[in-house]
Structure 1
């Protein structure tokens, strides 16, 4: 259902469900600013979920009116996200008494967010603005949408019938207003407004006299003159520097706020900030001097110290997004999966020589070592399918072993945002060359934070090349809810016995961690030995694949 244009003419886009049942997302950055023009499906923001960073497109076209949030804020799904004024819509005029009719946030399915819709509807009835209830079912409101879907919401265009709402009583409307008749702010779950005190209703002010002088500043509910500023550039300059127009004294005619007034306020604040910074520096130097003279073991007046070690706390970083997901997944894996580990040293000299020979003939199209290992892994899982299964809990609380057709091979990738595991879908149908292309593509997406939640949560078995960090082995943690993870260490020159003779060979270590509920050591050892033998004799194995 498309979003109706109500009262102020603003279409308010609520944060959609970004998939995987996530209930919140962290706002990384805005790609637009207030006053910018946006088109349907144009990306307007980047948000970080528990899975990845995704771009959120606008389902509406028009001018950005309000950005509901700042970078770093954690927003709840369904909360107001972006307000857009459709093209051709003028800015809303002030209602009686200077109170403006608020915009109505609209949920992804097109229905207004209840808490805000109730308050906005009450004020519109008082101001005489037609609503869906007063227009009746036969008065549809036209709006347009993208028709596209971003994991959980759609914005099909077309006409929608008005929704009939019960008329609110005077007592109800009065309870939802703040002094002067302005609608109270809606309580959005998780916002700081939820704990704000309830305002005390007061009588609405009398409407301004019709004989007021033209061009005079409008007065608000308390009788104070509203700031007089007509230039959008001056308003934007003040907003960019965090200045309130109501705090400025205009030097223009009848108190008109000019650009020089904003520039003077910016300069004055910069001077004040410089003085405050100097004072803070002096205070910090004094505190440092006191800490040097302070006897060891005393905490003094330090603002924040670790109670366990007594050391000063440098910073506190909440676990959010991918970091929180990693922590939860690793903890759950250790808590629920009774894992066991087997490992083996592998002579990969033949595999390295095979790849070097291919590189001399076709230097630009040679799969990497990891892609060959991936091909051997999917072949081994075909022989030992227990390691490609998982334990699932049924609705009645009982457990079952789930086996699937094919392999979605997860490739562990270290990124600036943490360790993520995008998966290659149906890796069992691909050659080493195709696997190499998919590994490179998914690694690039992971580094850029563009991997989708589906890419990061659909794996059935994980391959981890921790040898790139210069280590030989690792007791890896299984990627819950999978049943096994195979790790490969660095390839180094080591002394090795070949046909009774000591030689220098290329050797690596393979480590397999597996869920002991799905199989025993014989199955895990058989799979690991199959992959090791394939790496030691790649020509023979590849001929049969």
Structure 2
């Protein structure tokens, strides 16, 4: 019986994923640990590596299909297992149920593999012809084709059209990524040729864009709606002189030769305050009607990504040194640029830090990320008049905002936490 690559356990209770893009086609030879499919779970978009080598015999799911853990993604061709003296006997990728060995170098994919190499010739017309005629033929506002991938919708939206207005070359007319790319390529000559024509079309009024609430947007909406409906939250805030923090950060960087982001330093102060006020490092078990105070501090860092707002987690932040915490935060920042966090990195947070000051915002009232019971918001640094030793001076000031669940604590604990973070900002060398 031919080998089957089953959808592995993606961790943290994730039991299903949507196929968003195939990276191989039947008849192609794959190596151990070569990425073969891109899937989207409720937490992230990941490329899955094949745990064995051979020739692809059959793809067991179409783009847009939802596959459950344990169901086959692809089957290898019977009697076509590839013998490779240099290849390891088992997968080097961390896939639950397939084992782990020393990582094998991933073989280079042939040109065009990223968007489905070896695709059937039926999809070829979608990739043709740049020109105004081609663009008008491809994009029809009256057309409502099936679109399931959030990536496909986002790429089309950023290009200024609705992916559903295209003819899909995927199964049952499904619009896939290559269809959107072909439409974008066809639009470019038209856009360059006539700017006045665009202005005329705009004056007549473009049709409304209807964007389905699916994927990460649906998850965000569901979680935050639940937060507003079930948590009796209270909000407090405090203006803090952050001038000493900026000076200490510069001295620290000169002394160590390393860069420390403001978020990393604030994360350090947040962990210190949570150790002193552990009630805020809790969750509420509504079924058992108890408050669960967590021994570990798993610090969530709110991050804006191309996929939307995500909260990657620094697990065990209470055990990390200042430098280790800095490195972990820097790693999250790099992943945030693409939103390609591993599923396990998006679960298990016990408290969230939201540094929205990077967007030029002075303050706000962030929504608690359930099942957590509190969230700390940090505003931008602003030059403000401030009294120092009885004299007026211009200082770097930021606003700290704490939103907390009133079922877990009262204002004394919340105020103590917030003033503790403020004290760390005003006396950063002692805190560090």
**Alignment TM-score > 0.5, same fold:** yes
Residues of 2 paired with 1:530 and 1:464: CA distance? Answer: 17
Matched, 1:315 2:210: yes
Partner of 1:448: helix, strand, or coil? coil
**1:32 alignment partner, one of 12, 19, 24:** 24
Instruction: Tell me which residue corresponds to 1:389.
Output: 282
Instruction: Give CA deviations for 1:132-187 in whole Å, capped at 9, x if unaligned.
Output: xxxxxxxxxxxx9847785543379xxxxxxxxxxxxxxxxxxxxxxxxxxxxxxx
Instruction: Tell me which residue corresponds to 1:510.
Output: 400
Matched, 1:376 2:269: yes
Instruction: Tell me which residue corresponds to 1:205.
Output: none
Pairwise CA distance, 1:325: 2.1
Q: Normalising by the residue count of structure 1, what TM-score does the alignment of the two structures yield?
A: 0.57
> Aligned pair in 2 of structure 1 residues 43, 341: CA closer, same or farther (>3 Å)?
same
Kept in 1: contact 2:18–2:67 (CA 8 A): yes
Pairwise CA distance, 1:87: 4.9
Alignment of 1:34-433 (within 5 A): 34-88=26-80, 146=90, 152-154=96-98, 240-242=120-122, 312-320=207-215, 322-362=216-256, 364-393=257-286, 397-433=287-323
Kept in 2: contact 1:496–1:504 (CA 8 A): yes
Kept in 1: contact 2:33–2:93 (CA 8 A): no
Instruction: Tell me which residue corresponds to 2:334.
Output: 444
Partner of 2:318: helix, strand, or coil? helix
Kept in 1: contact 2:253–2:260 (CA 8 A): no
Residues of 2 paired with 1:338 and 1:87: CA distance? Answer: 62
Instruction: Give CA deviations for 1:434-454 in whole Å, capped at 9, x if unaligned.
Output: 211110012222333332222
Residues of 2 paired with 1:280 and 1:437: CA distance? Answer: 47
> Aligned pair in 2 of structure 1 residues 281, 354: CA closer, same or farther (>3 Å)?
closer
Pairwise CA distance, 1:341: 0.7
Kept in 2: contact 1:476–1:485 (CA 8 A): yes
Instruction: Give CA deviations for 1:492-521 in whole Å, capped at 9, x if unaligned.
Output: 101111222211000000000111111001
Matched, 1:487 2:377: yes
Instruction: Give CA deviations for 1:82-141 in whole Å, capped at 9, x if unaligned.
Output: 121155479xxxxxxxxxxxxxxxxxxxxxxxxxxxxxxxxxxxxxxxxxxxxxxxxxxx
Q: Which has the higher contact order (CA 8 A, sep 6+)?
A: 2
Kept in 1: contact 2:25–2:118 (CA 8 A): no
Q: Normalising by the residue count of structure 2, what TM-score does the alignment of the two structures yield?
A: 0.71
Pairwise CA distance, 1:39: 2.7
> Aligned pair in 2 of structure 1 residues 462, 36: CA closer, same or farther (>3 Å)?
same
Pairwise CA distance, 1:373: 1.7
Instruction: Give CA deviations for 1:442-499 in whole Å, capped at 9, x if unaligned.
Output: 2222333332222111211111110000001111011111111111100010111122
Kept in 1: contact 2:25–2:117 (CA 8 A): no
Runs of 4+ in 1 over 6 A off after TM superposition: 274-284
Kept in 1: contact 2:58–2:77 (CA 8 A): no
Kept in 1: contact 2:33–2:91 (CA 8 A): no
Instruction: Tell me which residue corresponds to 1:524.
Output: 414
> Aligned pair in 2 of structure 1 residues 150, 353: CA closer, same or farther (>3 Å)?
closer
Pairwise CA distance, 1:270: 8.1
> Aligned pair in 2 of structure 1 residues 87, 450: CA closer, same or farther (>3 Å)?
farther
What do you get for the CA RMSD once the two structures are aligned?
A: 3.6
Partner of 2:122: helix, strand, or coil? coil
Residues of 1 paired with 2:140 and 2:217: CA distance? Answer: 38
Instruction: Give CA deviations for 1:334-387 in whole Å, capped at 9, x if unaligned.
Output: 12211111100000111111222334455x414222222222211111111100
Residues of 2 paired with 1:469 and 1:525: CA distance? Answer: 26
Kept in 2: contact 1:33–1:67 (CA 8 A): yes
Pairwise CA distance, 1:38: 1.5
Pairwise CA distance, 1:57: 2.2
Residues of 1 paired with 2:141 and 2:298: CA distance? Answer: 59
Residues of 2 paired with 1:283 and 1:380: CA distance? Answer: 54
Residues of 1 paired with 2:325 and 2:265: CA distance? Answer: 8
Structure 1 residue runs of 5 or longer lacking an equivalent are 91-143, 157-235, 244-265, 285-302, 305-310
Residues of 2 paired with 1:410 and 1:278: CA distance? Answer: 46
Residues of 1 paired with 2:261 and 2:135: CA distance? Answer: 55
Kept in 1: contact 2:52–2:91 (CA 8 A): no
Name which of structure 1's ranges 443-452 and 495-504 shifts more when overlaid on structure 2: 443-452
Residues of 2 paired with 1:279 and 1:376: CA distance? Answer: 57
Instruction: Tell me which residue corresponds to 1:434.
Output: 324
